[in-house]
Amino acid sequence: MIAIRLAWRNLQRNRRRTVLTSSALAIGLTVLIVQLGLLDGTDQQSINNLVAYDVAHVKAFAPGYMDQDLPGLDHTLSGVDSLLSLLDGTRDVVAATARLEMSGMLIHGGEELFTRVVGVDPVRDGDVFGTLRAVVEGRSIQDETPVALVGDRLASDIGLGVGDIVTLLVRSAPGALNTRTLPVVGILSSGHPKVDQFAVYVPLSLACDMALLPDAATEIAIRTERLKDSELVSRTLARIIPGPDWRAWDDLAGDFIRLARMKRTAQGIIIAVLALLAAVGIANTMIMAVHERTREIGTLRAFGFSSSLIGRIFLWEGMLIGLIAGSAAVIIGVAVVSYLGVHGISLEAYGDMDIGYPIRDAIYPVINAGSVISSFIFGLVLSLLASWGASRRAARGQVVRALREGSL
């Protein structure tokens, strides 16, 4: 207790120095908290978008499909109708739908774009994916009538609008080229670049016709009760319906998750450097404090304060700086993240640039208790480590010299 009290008093006495030192750390930790909030928000939004428009909860593919660099029609699922009715009667499966996806060209006048042609089940798709509900202009795909939906980015890239006629050119499974000319009936806007920029949606039956593959699909996508259970459900399905290659969402989003982790690491390094600077500041302050208070250290030692107790006084000083800085950072950081969480950080400046996340328009940071607490603890640990040296030095000094010369 006396160690904390002395530490606290000393901090109060050198108020300016304390404020300066803890400000540096507080800024570092605030940046960390905001940054993590940003990352957490980005991850959450990304995952939401990925699940809603891309990877669903669980998917089934034909074996070998996922091994291709650019998945084509070489490995497709057949007997899709019976597979779907089997899934409909399976526990844990809330909804299931089939999609047939292939590479192709979208042609409109003099414009020609590489795209993914995605055949969607007009009835079932909406129970698994949000894609068909992401129509912002025109209407969605309602039946097997040959119509197309395109993303808003793709549309604006080549000046497409609702009612325009486009031609799709694909390579069918056997190899022959196949084309269809059909009207665009709706424009999609989801936030996921794959939907908004790189895909054209058509009714599943049309896609099958174009691929010359009746009753086939490149994937069956499933919605489960909870995203968290997808891994489990995937394994269960693999057991009860062997044959297809079953994958849970996090497996499919692997690239994204790896990327997110990488960004986290990269940003972590930047923050670590920032924090290190702050820690150097603390270390410096603490060494200065030990230096200034040598005679005091000698006096306390003469009174019978043990060297470890002396060390603890300085350790506490550092810790308190960390506590002050951490508390300030938590308050400021949480406030900033909350504000940004409501107002969002516009991505307009990035324009159509691919920022590597399935997100656009704005990022909404979120407060994640784990992130905030770990930032706080990180600050404490950092300040503890920073004051370690000074503390050791204070504890190790010789009493006689400290008293006589005022130096350790």
Ligand X SMILES: Nc1ncnc2c1ncn2[C@@H]1O[C@H](COP(=O)(O)OP(=O)(O)OP(=O)(O)O)[C@@H](O)[C@H]1O
In the complex, the residues that contact ligand X under the rule CB under 6 A are 400-401, 404
179 binds, among other proteins, ligand X, none (CB under 5 to 8 A by kind): other proteins
The single residue among 75, 263, 291, 295 that binds other proteins, judged by CB under 8 A, is: 295
236 binds, among other proteins, ligand X, none (CB under 5 to 8 A by kind): none
Burial of 168 (0-12, 13-18, 19+ CB in 10 A): buried
In the bound state with ligand X, the residue whose beta carbon lies nearer, of 299 and 327, is: 299
Count of chain residues binding other proteins (CB under 8 A): 45
In the bound state with other proteins, the residue whose beta carbon lies nearer, of 65 and 249, is: 65
Cβ 75 to other proteins, closest distance in Å?
Answer: 11
171 binds, among ligand X, other proteins, none (CB under 5 to 8 A by kind): other proteins
Alpha-helix residue ranges (DSSP H) falling in 119-178: 125-128, 152-158
For position 400 contacting other proteins by CB under 8 A, the verdict is: yes
The single residue among 10, 22, 140, 190 that binds other proteins, judged by CB under 8 A, is: 10
Which residue from 39, 36, 26 is spatially nearest to 331, judged by alpha carbons? 26
The single residue among 242, 304, 351, 370 that binds other proteins, judged by CB under 8 A, is: 304
Q: How are beta strands 216-217 and 135-138 bridged, if at all?
A: unpaired
Return the axis-axis angle of helices 15-50 and 254-292, rounded to nearest 10°: 170
In the bound state with ligand X, the residue whose beta carbon lies nearer, of 261 and 401, is: 401
Cβ 103 to other proteins, closest distance in Å?
Answer: 7
In the bound state with ligand X, the residue whose beta carbon lies nearer, of 177 and 400, is: 400
391 binds, among other proteins, ligand X, none (CB under 5 to 8 A by kind): none
For position 157 contacting other proteins by CB under 8 A, the verdict is: no
Cα distance between residue 215 and residue 81, in whole Å: 7
How far lies 218's CA from each of 37, 105, 165, 203, 277, in Å? 37, 18, 26, 14, 53
For position 156 contacting other proteins by CB under 8 A, the verdict is: no
User: Which DSSP category does 351 fall into?
Assistant: T
For position 112 contacting other proteins by CB under 8 A, the verdict is: yes
In the bound state with ligand X, the residue whose beta carbon lies nearer, of 285 and 294, is: 294
Cβ 375 to other proteins, closest distance in Å?
Answer: 30
For position 172 contacting other proteins by CB under 8 A, the verdict is: yes
Q: Please list every residue from 357 through 376 that binds other proteins, using CB under 8 A.
A: none
How far lies 200's CA from each of 37, 153, 214, 338, in Å? 34, 11, 20, 37
67 binds, among other proteins, ligand X, none (CB under 5 to 8 A by kind): none
In the bound state with ligand X, the residue whose beta carbon lies nearer, of 20 and 400, is: 400
Task: Name residues whose C-beta falls within 8 Å of residue 75's C-beta, 6 or more positions apart in sequence.
Answer: 61, 62, 63, 64, 65, 68, 218
Q: Rg of the Cα trace of the chain?
A: 30
Cβ 351 to other proteins, closest distance in Å?
Answer: 21
Cβ 303 to ligand X, closest distance in Å?
Answer: 20
For position 302 contacting other proteins by CB under 8 A, the verdict is: yes
Cα distance between residue 362 and residue 372, in whole Å: 22
In the bound state with ligand X, the residue whose beta carbon lies nearer, of 112 and 405, is: 405
Alpha-helix residue ranges (DSSP H) falling in 241-368: 249-252, 254-292, 294-302, 307-343
For position 67 contacting other proteins by CB under 8 A, the verdict is: no
Cα distance between residue 364 and residue 340, in whole Å: 6
For position 298 contacting other proteins by CB under 8 A, the verdict is: yes
For position 178 contacting other proteins by CB under 8 A, the verdict is: yes
Write the binding mask 203 to 242 for other proteins: x where contact by CB under 8 A, - elsewhere.
---------x------------------------------
3-state DSSP call for residue 326? helix
Largest CA distance in the chain: 97
Cα distance between residue 233 and residue 248, in whole Å: 8
The single residue among 301, 312, 360, 393 that binds other proteins, judged by CB under 8 A, is: 301
Q: Which residues pair with 96 in a beta bridge?
A: 222
In the bound state with other proteins, the residue whose beta carbon lies nearer, of 189 and 299, is: 299
Cα distance between residue 202 and residue 53, in whole Å: 15
Backbone phi and psi for residue 329, each to the nearest 5 degrees, phi listed first: -65, -40
145 binds, among ligand X, other proteins, none (CB under 5 to 8 A by kind): none
